[in-house]
Amino acid sequence: MVYDFHGECDLLLVRSENFHNNLGFEIQIRTQIRRDWSFIKEAALRIGDQVFEVTKDMVYHSNLATHGFRRRGINHLGGRDGVLPQKIAGFPISYVNYDTKRHKFEVDMGDKGIVSFKMYGDFLAVTVQRASEDFSDAVGLMGDFVTGELKGRDGRVMTNTDDFGLEWQIRDSDKHLFTEVHGIQFPQTCKMPPPEAIARRRLAESSVTYQEAAKACAGMEEESRDACIFDILTTGDLGMADFDL
C-alpha cells in the first residue's frame, strides 16, 4: 500500500516480536520536513538487543543490553563494495558504493528476508524484501504484512493517513533505538507541514514534468513506480529514481 505522511519526528516503521523465535525485529526512522514534505534522514534496525543505525554520514553498531556502540564514517568504509566486519544478530551486512551520492547497505536474513538501506544524497529509503511468516505479527507504518491494512496500536483499521502516522510516533513505552536523542520527541507531537502548503500546488510547480518522472520510473513495479513518480515531482530530482537501486 502506498500512502503519504509528512510529519517530522521519530517513527516506528515496523516491529515484530515473534521474529526468529521471538528474538524480535524492529525498524525506527527519523524524519525531517523540507518545505511541505518530509523525508527519512536516519534509520535504525534492531534484531534482538543489537542495533544497526544508518545516517547520511555514519553507521553505528550498538547493543541495548550493554549500552556499548561503535561508529564508522561512511566515507571511511573504503569506497568499495563488500561486507562489513560487524554483523547484526549473526546476519551479515553488505555495502555497495555507487558514487559519492549513492550508497546501499543490506542485511541478509536468509529465508527471513532482506533489509535494505538506500541513500541518495540527504535521502534514505528503507525496504524489507521477501518478508517471511515471521512477520505475521508485524505492526507499524508498514501496515499489516498479510492484509496491507493500516492499523493503529490497538489493532483498529485507520483511514486517515495523518492520524495513522501520528499513531506510530515513538513513545516512552517504545524502545529508543537511535544513539543520539534529538529533534521532536514524545510527548511533543510530530511536527507537520503548515496548512497552507498544498500538495497540488507543489506538484504543479515542479521543475520536472510528469512524463519525465514516469519515464525515469518506468522499470519499476506498479506500487513502487507510483511512489517514485511522486518523489521526483516533489523534489524535482530525476535521480530519486535511484532509490530503486
User: Which residue would you say has higher pLDDT here, 37 or 93?
Assistant: 93
82-114 tens-digit pLDDT: 777 788 999 999 988 888 788 899 999 999 999
Q: What is the pLDDT of residue 31?
A: 95
Q: Residue 117 — very low, low, confident or very high, per pLDDT cuts 50/70/90?
A: very high
Which residues have C-beta within 8 Å of that of residue 1, sequence separation ≥ 6? 143, 148, 150, 223
Instruction: Give the integer Cα–Cα distance in Å for 236 and 230.
Output: 10
- C-alpha cell recorded at residue 106: 543490506
**Segments making up each domain of the chain, as ranges:** 10-197, 198-245
Per-residue pLDDT, averaged over 169-194, amounts to 93
Helices (H), 132-221: 161-167, 199-204, 210-216
Q: Residue 2 — very low, low, confident or very high, per pLDDT cuts 50/70/90?
A: low
Q: What is the pLDDT of residue 201?
A: 45
Say if CB 158 and CB 144 are below 8 A apart: no
Instruction: Give the integer Cα–Cα distance in Å for 31 and 33.
Output: 7
- C-alpha cell recorded at residue 150: 493500516
Which residues have C-beta within 8 Å of that of residue 242, sequence separation ≥ 6? 98, 102, 118, 120
Instruction: Give the integer Cα–Cα distance in Å for 35 and 43.
Output: 21
pTM for this model (two decimals): 0.85
Share of the chain above pLDDT 90, in %: 44
User: Which residue would you say has higher pLDDT here, 79 or 147?
Assistant: 147
Per-residue pLDDT, averaged over 214-233, amounts to 80
What is the pLDDT of the chain when averaged over all its residues? 85
Provide φ and ψ at 196, rounded to 5°: -75, -10
